[in-house]
Amino acid sequence: MKKPVIITFLLLLSVGVFSQKSNDTIIANNAKNLRLKVFYFHITNRCNTCFSIEKYVRQTIDNNFANQLELGIVDLYIMNCELPDNRDMVKKYDAYGATLALTSFVNGKEDISEDLTGWAFKKVHDPDIFIAELKSKIEEFLK
């Protein structure tokens, strides 16, 4: 009698873990072309502001850098910083909560990083400005 209960519990647990994992977005199409990684880390229990930041980041890239994303010039990482699988990335990018960062790459190696978290929380209440300024920052990195 106990076995089915345990199996059901483990199944539910694994479904829960995998469904959390499936929320992460990693778009990395061609490491050879890579010039910029856009990171947005978030916690599990997200607020509206956090969702809005992700939404505007996605809009900025989809509307302005879709081609670069497809070619692998720009990579996009939307990740839950509380998942055990992301622990190394969290440590590397010092992203223990909501964190927006840009990291440039030269010849496959990391070059300059800019933490835009404070900026993002300040500008998120004006989507037009958020998108316009993030677009400029990405363009600056791609020069």
Partner 1 sequence: MKKIFALNLLALVLTTLLFFGCNQTNNKTEEKVSDDTIAQVEQKSIDSLPATDSTDKKGVVEQKIDLPKVLVYNFHITNRCVSCIAIEKATTKTLNTYFSSELKQGRVKQFILNVDEDANAKIAEKYQAFGSGLYVTRVFKGKETTTDLTGDGFKFAKNKEEKFIEILKNRITEYLK
Number of residues that bind partner 1 (CB under 8 A): 24
When the beta carbons of 56 and 65 are compared against partner 1, the nearer one is 56
When the beta carbons of 94 and 110 are compared against partner 1, the nearer one is 94
- What is the b/e burial string over 31-64, where b = at least 16 CB atoms within 10 angstroms of the residue's CB? eeebbbbbbbbbeeeeeeebebbbebbeebbeeb
Quick one: which of 94, 84, 82, 77 has its CA closest to 43? 82
Provide the minimum distance between the beta carbon of 21 and partner 1 in the complex, in angstroms, as a whole number: 18
Helix, strand, coil percentages, rounded to 5, for the chain: 55, 20, 20
> Could you give the CA distance from residue 114 to residue 101 in angstroms, rounded to a whole number?
6
122 binds partner 1, rule: CB under 8 A: yes
Contact positions with partner 1 (CB under 8 A) in 12-51 = 43, 45-50
Provide the minimum distance between the beta carbon of 38 and partner 1 in the complex, in angstroms, as a whole number: 16
> Which one among 34, 79, 95, 138 touches partner 1, defined by CB under 8 A?
95
When the beta carbons of 41 and 65 are compared against partner 1, the nearer one is 41
Provide the minimum distance between the beta carbon of 106 and partner 1 in the complex, in angstroms, as a whole number: 26
124 binds partner 1, rule: CB under 8 A: yes
Quick one: which of 123, 116, 130 has its CA closest to 41? 116
